[in-house]
Amino acid sequence: LGFEKFVATSDGEEIKRPRFLTTLQRKVELLQRRLKNKEKGSNNRHKLNQKIARLHQRITDTRKDWHFKLAHHLCDGVGMIFVEDINFVSWQRGMLSKHSADAGFGQFFNILEWVWLSRDVYFAKVNKDGTSQTCPNCGAHTGKKTLDVRVHHCHECGYTTTRDVAASQEIRNRGITSVGQMVAGRLTSFEETSQALGPKNVCGLRATGRITRDALVGGGRSRKLAS
């Protein structure tokens, strides 16, 4: 997840974030400016308040509809989805609070969890720490990157891709490894698990260090895994 690209997936798809609030922000500001000039308790002030409320509701409904469509799109053709375990409350503070509220990341995760249940897709959250500092191809530690560095390049194996896609691939790796550790004695390594599942059946969202049993922070349940 991010402010420029809303979602990056482990298969290379990067989905740009729509500006639900900012596209209508100018109109909202003009209406609120007009509201200050209306007499309190007047019919005109009441009508203008209703107009502003309808505009905010339109933004909310548009955002929610897009979140549902994106969640279903991400669940199409996959058996597992892994995401970062993020504290979105901290994202709503500081200079980027308006952008975070506009994107509605917390709401999207809630919708995504509802959709995976209805679609019978396994869903789990993995530790977010270091997902941008590890090569998903060879596991080498690539070091910290400033936010302006948008390309991942590994000096150990030469693997190059966008920063967000590399992070999502590392999230996928951590998720698959953790699932492999949980399946009783059958699949114990990333290679065995990924070969059994197939790369197209797993989706990592947004993004290396060593992968441990502690990588899995929270999880979901799927009838597909129980069979």
Q: Where are the domains of the chain?
A: 5-226
Distance of CA 122 to the CA centre of its chain: 16
Cα dihedral 200/108/68/197 (nearest 10): 20
Model's pTM, two decimal places? Answer: 0.71
Helix (H, G, I), strand (E, B) or coil at 221: coil
**Predicted pLDDT of residue 166:** 93
**What is the full per-residue pLDDT of the chain (227 aa) written as tens digits?**
555 678 888 888 898 877 766 777 788 888 888 888 888 888 888 899 999 999 889 888 888 899 999 999 998 888 888 888 876 665 555 545 555 555 577 788 889 888 988 988 888 888 888 888 999 999 999 988 887 888 999 999 999 999 999 999 999 999 888 877 654 444 444 445 455 444 444 455 542 222 233 333 434 433 333 33
Burial of 218 (0-12, 13-18, 19+ CB in 10 A): exposed
Q: What is the spatial distance between Cα 20 and Cα 163, in angstroms, rounded to a whole number?
A: 25
